[in-house]
Every structure is written in structure tokens, then in C-alpha cells.
Amino acid sequence: MITSEWLYWLIGAFFIAVSVFILTDRTHAKRVGNAAFWGILGLSFFAGTFVVSGALPAWALGIAVLVMVALAGLGFTGTTSRTRVASVPGAGVGSATGPAEPTAVTTRPSSSTSVLATTSPDERAGFAQRFGNRLFIPALVIPVVAVLVATLGPLVRIGGEPLLAEGSATLTGLGIGSVLAVVVAVLVLRPPRLDTPVREGARLLQAIGWAALLPQMLSTLGIVFTQAGVGDAVGTIIKAVLPDGSLLAAVVVYCLGMALFTAIMGNAFAAFPIMTAAIGWPVLVQGFDGNPAAIFAIGMLAGFCGTLVTPMAANFNLVPAALLEMRDKYGPIKAQLPTAGILLVVNMGVMYLVAF
Amino acid sequence: MRARLSRMFVLIGVAVVIIGFALRVNALLVVTVAGIVTAAIGGIDPVGILTAFGSGFASSRSVTTFALVLPVIGLIERYGLQDQAKRLIAKLDRLTTGRILAGYLVVRQVTAAVGLTSIGGPAQTVRPLVHPMAEGAATKKYGRIDERMREKIKGFSASSDTVGVFFGEDVFVAVGSILLITSFVDEAYKLTLEPIDLALWAIPTGIAALLVHGTRLLLLDRKLDKMAADVRQTEGVAA
């Protein structure tokens, strides 16, 4: 049976390659710190397999995690003073990594050995002219393959056993799709060297920086919150005001709570475990026997409505106002407020209608 | 009573997150400190805390699978993906302000839904392309636009990008928010959810977002008509 572990090893190998690229880049300002961060992250992806199987004690991996946090938190990583956090739209990472120069095209007139070296804007314009819409083909391979494997994969059985482990079909499809997309891109675009895709990926990863680890840490925080009873505490407070046995009220409170907690924290990822442990899981899924996939997906989108209206999500709301030199720095929020309000109600309605 | 009160103390962890994010402290540090504080208050010993971080990391590795799409995105960016996207968006040039922004919303949301979140953004497309086109269309139509109209167009230009990417990206499976849901609930509640099932449930809201914000962008033209009439009127009075 195929699990997702091979995928994590592939990701780990990518991170280790990034670490090696940085180590060999003599022009890099923070060479050792960055190389250590990506190297430890890569090794941790391999170590995770042995933690899951029980061969390695989890506290050992816990130490590695804290070392990575210390490296990033104390300023040993990054290329310039600030890096962009564009990897997680909607989540609204309200952090100091706000995009000082959030241009995706990092052009540096440095030597070709730099991990940030890529084509110049002029070269890109020329390539765009030449390749046109063919540029979109490799990118489309990923969702097409992912959807095909995710829908057809679970049907494949070998000797009565399912080929793919339960819950791993989508990730398997994503992994196969990503690899195939690189193959297609290399065939269409004919880059100068075979390691060019990995180097270009390393460039993007460097631009994301330590924020690449943030979603995983937020997921871990959610688990710690749940173990320590944060969800129960919030749930106790909510149940004091929630009318007993009303499905509609529970749906409204879950969606509204997601939007409010997201607006306060500036981050839907941080709000999700709290509201889900407080009400999404115990009341909506267990109490009212709802469909967990629908409840959780729509609940997250209710949180995004909160992201649209909070200055805490600076990257999405304040930075555009600054870039456009607006007098009113809340201009984008004002333009988004009615849409966010309507969509919050839509989310409540859709959840109420389809999830139960 | 005392037991109930002490159970409430774990909420200090939530406060740490709120304060830390508000003060713009490094988000990784905030999240880690909040986890340690919460676990300590919840009565988990130091080895238990390390174990929680280690097993949490191991079980949430799927969240980081977005890294797998970086090599191909980086490669096509190298060969002018963003330039090509700009060439497509520039074709909207002959429309009115509201229609340009509505057209961009469609482009942004559809491309985000197939995983191409990086082709747009406030710095990549809105500032250099979408906003100048939107403002240019208004100037062409009304002759002169005042500061209030200019601000309105800027706000809506930014919103067309943000709304598009927020409610498009969740339809793509390799996105942080979807994978965060599955990794968290699978670990916390022992479920085995498929990311694609969650992505499917993002489609109704995605369509609603397109209709709601698209309509509001189209109505922006009327609002600008009115504002321009006001401008002419006050100028007429002044003259």
C-alpha cells in the first residue's frame, strides 16, 4: 500500500538541495544560517517518517523544530531584511515579514552561482513573446493530474488491497502531478541545465523564507491548543450563550466565530483549530452529525471573510494601500467590507444547506 | 469552581498569539511561545512539550507539500509567466473601469483555482497594470477625476486582486488552508479526509464571491458616473 511518505522524502530532498545551493553560494549574506535552516528542515521531513513509525522518539524531532524556530526567530535566515509571505493567501500572516519589496521577480545582477540568479525582465519579455500561452501548459498539468489520481486512485486495488492508503490519494496525485509538470516544462521550455527547475524553485523558496514553516507550526499549535483544552474553554464560554439544540444558531456561531477570531488574529489558520475544537467538531460534526469535509472547508472560508476586513492581515490589506499610495490606508478594506459581509452570510447558508 | 477557572487559564495562549501578531513579532516565535505557554499551563511537562512539537511536525508535513509546485512555477516564471499574464490582462484595456476590474477578478480567481497564485498580486499586477488601466479608463470617460474618485478606484483595484485570490486558491488542493485543515483534523480527531473533498466544498463560495464582488465592481461604473457628475456640478458652481 502506498502512503504519502515518499512525497515527504521528495520534499525533504528538495529542501536539502536548497541548503546545498546556499552553502555553495559564496555571495550569500546569511549563508550558514539559511543553509542550516533548510538543511534541518529537509532532514526533519525524513525523520518524520521514523517518528510516525515509532522508531525515533518524537521529542528528538521536537528539539530540531525548536532549533529551526530559533534560527528564524533570531534573524539568522532570510536574504534581505524582509521577505515576502505570499505562499499562503487568505491565511493572512500578520507578521513582521511584510513585503518590503514583494515583487515576485527577484533580479540580482550577481554572478550565476547566486541562489537568487534568474532571467532579467527583458529576457522574460522576450521569452513570453516566444512561448505565449504555452507557458501555462506545465502549470495546468498539476491540477489535472492531481484531480485524476484523487478521483480514480482510490478505485485501484491490487490483490484485494487498495493501492493507495486512505486519505493519501490527493497528495499522491499532487506529487505525481508536480513531477510530471517539471518534465513537461523542461520539454517545452528547454532550460539550459537540468537542475534549473530545482534552482528556480529554490529562488522562490528563499523568497518565502521561514514563512514556509509557518503553516506547519500553526497546525502544531492547533494540536497543542486542543490537547491543553483551549477549544473546550472557548466552547464553555460559547455554550453559555448558544441556544441548545439549534442547528442554525450553531452554524451561525461557528462561521461568525471564525470570522471574528480571524479578524483579531489576522490569521484564519490560527483561528481554525480554536473554533473547530470549540464548536465545529463537538457540536456540528458530533452533535448534529454533519459532513466534516463541508463544515471545515466552509468554516475556513468564513474565516477568510474576516481576513478581508482586518488591518491585522497587513500583507493583504495595508500593503496594497501603501503600494497604490492611497491617502486612506483602509481604502481596500472599505472596498472589501460589503463583499465580506455578504459572503459570510453565504457561507452560513451553504453550510446549513449542504453539510447536514 | 476552581477547576473550571483554572481551565480558563489556557486561554492565555490565545492572548499570546493575538498580542504577538499585533506587535509584529516574528510569527514563528509567537506561535512557538504560545504553544509552550499553553502546554505548560495545561500541565504538560517539558519532555511532553518537545514530544508535542515533534509529533505535531511529523503529522503536519502534508501542509508543506505546496513546496513541490515551486520548481515548475519557478521555471515558467523564468520564461516569462508573469509577462504573459500581463499581456492577457492588457487585452482588457478598452473596457470601462468596472469591467476592467471585473475581468481581472475573473482572471485572478480562475488562475488561482488551478494553482497559479503567483501570477498576480498587489506588487506584481495591481500597481503596475490593473490600477493604471482602471484609472486610465475613468480619465478617458470623464475627462477629469477628483481625489475621491481616484481613491475609490484604488481601493477597488486592490480588492479585485485580494477577493479573487482568496476565493480561488481554496479550489486548488495544494494550498495551505486546505492542507492545514486535513492535517489538523486528521491528527486531532483521527479522521482521514481527502484534501480534494474539501476543495470541492470551496466551489459554491468561490462562485458566490465571483458573482458578489463582480457585480459590485460592475456597479462601480455607476458610482463613478455619479461622482463625476458631482464634480462637474461643484466646478460649475465654483465657476
Tell me the per-residue pLDDT of A269-301, one tens digit each, with 9 for 90 and over. 889 999 999 999 999 999 999 999 999 999 999
At A78 the pLDDT is 75
User: CB distance from B34 to chain A under 8 Å?
Assistant: yes
At B239 the pLDDT is 58
At A120 the pLDDT is 86
**Cα–Cα distance list, A175 to A133, A142, A179, A318 (Å):** 24, 9, 6, 35
Residues 94-123 of A with CB under 8 A from B: 94-99, 101-105, 118-119
CA A186 to chain centre: 26
Torsion, CA A93, CA A96, CA A101, CA A102, rounded to 10:
-10
Residues of chain B with confidence (pLDDT) below 70: 1-6, 237-239
- The closest alpha carbon to A302, from B158, B162, B170, belongs to B170
CA nearest to B172 within chain A: A143
Q: How far apart are CA A101 and CA B157, in angstroms?
A: 19
Best of A183, A221, A236, A346 to mutate (most B CBs within 10 Å, chain B): A221
CB atoms closer than 10 angstroms to residue B156: 28
Per cent of chain A over pLDDT 70 is 89
Q: Amino acid letter at A198? A: V
At A114 the pLDDT is 66
Q: Amino acid letter at B121? A: G
Q: Which 8-state DSSP code applies to residue B108?
A: H
Given pLDDT bands bounded at 50, 70 and 90, which one contains residue A61? Answer: very high
Q: How far apart are CA B223 and CA B98, in angstroms?
A: 10
First-to-last alpha carbon distance for chain B, in angstroms, is 74
State the average pLDDT over residues A155-159: 84
CA A303 to chain centre: 15
CB atoms closer than 10 angstroms to residue A333: 24
Please tell me which of the candidates B79, B187, B200 has its beta carbon nearest to residue A131: B79
| A194-248 tens-digit pLDDT | 889 999 999 888 888 888 898 899 888 988 888 888 888 998 888 888 887 899 9
Q: How far apart are CA A268 and CA A301, in angstroms?
A: 9
- Evaluate the CA torsion angle A214, A215, A216, A217 in order and state its sign: positive
Given a cut of 60, whether residue A314 has pLDDT beyond it is yes
**Helices B46-59 and A31-53: crossing angle, nearest 10°?**
90
| A103-147 tens-digit pLDDT | 344 444 434 456 667 888 888 888 888 888 888 888 889 888 888
CB atoms closer than 10 angstroms to residue B42: 20
**Cα–Cα distance list, B11 to A231, A356, B37 (Å):** 9, 31, 10
Q: Which 8-state DSSP code applies to residue A30?
A: T
State the average pLDDT over residues A8-13: 96
User: CB distance from A187 to chain B under 8 Å?
Assistant: no
Residues 150-209 of B with CB under 8 A from A: 151-152, 154-159, 161-163, 165-167, 169-170, 172-189, 191-202, 204-205, 208-209
State the average pLDDT over residues A248-253: 95
- List, in order, residues 6 or more apart from A293 with CB less than 8 Å away: B193, B194, B197, B198, B200, B201
Every domain of chain B and the residues it spans:
2-59, 65-238
Q: How far apart are CA A216 and CA A225, in angstroms?
A: 14
Given a cut of 90, whether residue A52 has pLDDT beyond it is yes
Q: How far apart are CA A259 and CA B108, in angstroms?
A: 23
- The closest alpha carbon to A79, from A28, A120, A15, A14, belongs to A28
CA A20 to chain centre: 24
- The number of C-beta contacts closer than 8 angstroms across A and B is 515
Strand partners of residue A157: A162
CB A91 within 8 A of CB B176: yes
DSSP E strands in chain A: the ranges are: 157-158, 161-162
At B3 the pLDDT is 60
Contact call for B49 and A142, based on CB within 8 A: no
At A208 the pLDDT is 83
First-to-last alpha carbon distance for chain A, in angstroms, is 33
Q: How far apart are CA A86 and CA A211, in angstroms?
A: 9
Strand partners of residue A158: A161
- The closest alpha carbon to A206, from A344, A70, A82, A342, belongs to A82
User: CB distance from B1 to chain A under 8 Å?
Assistant: no
A288-291 contacts at long range (C-beta below 8 A, 24 or more positions apart): A288/A247, A288/A250, A288/A356, A289/A356, A290/A355, A290/A356, A291/A354, A291/A355, A291/A356
| B73-105 tens-digit pLDDT | 889 888 988 888 888 888 888 899 999 999 999
Q: How far apart are CA B8 and CA A173, in angstroms?
A: 43
User: CB distance from A286 to chain B under 8 Å?
Assistant: no
At A84 the pLDDT is 37
Given pLDDT bands bounded at 50, 70 and 90, which one contains residue A348? Answer: very high
Top-ranked range on mean pLDDT: pick from A65-79, A83-97, A143-157, B218-232: B218-232
Burial string for B121-144 (b: 16+ CB within 10 Å, else e) reads bbbbbbbebbbebbbebbeeebee
Cell of A269: 489558520
CB atoms closer than 10 angstroms to residue A201: 25
CB A179 within 8 A of CB B56: no
Per cent of chain A over pLDDT 90 is 49
CB atoms closer than 10 angstroms to residue B43: 11
Q: Amino acid letter at B142? A: Y
At A102 the pLDDT is 36
Contact call for B173 and A174, based on CB within 8 A: yes
Every domain of chain A and the residues it spans:
5-213, 229-354
Strand partners of residue A161: A158
Q: How far apart are CA B135 and CA B100, in angstroms?
A: 10
In the block, cell 529542501 appears at A15
- The closest alpha carbon to A100, from A318, A326, A327, belongs to A318
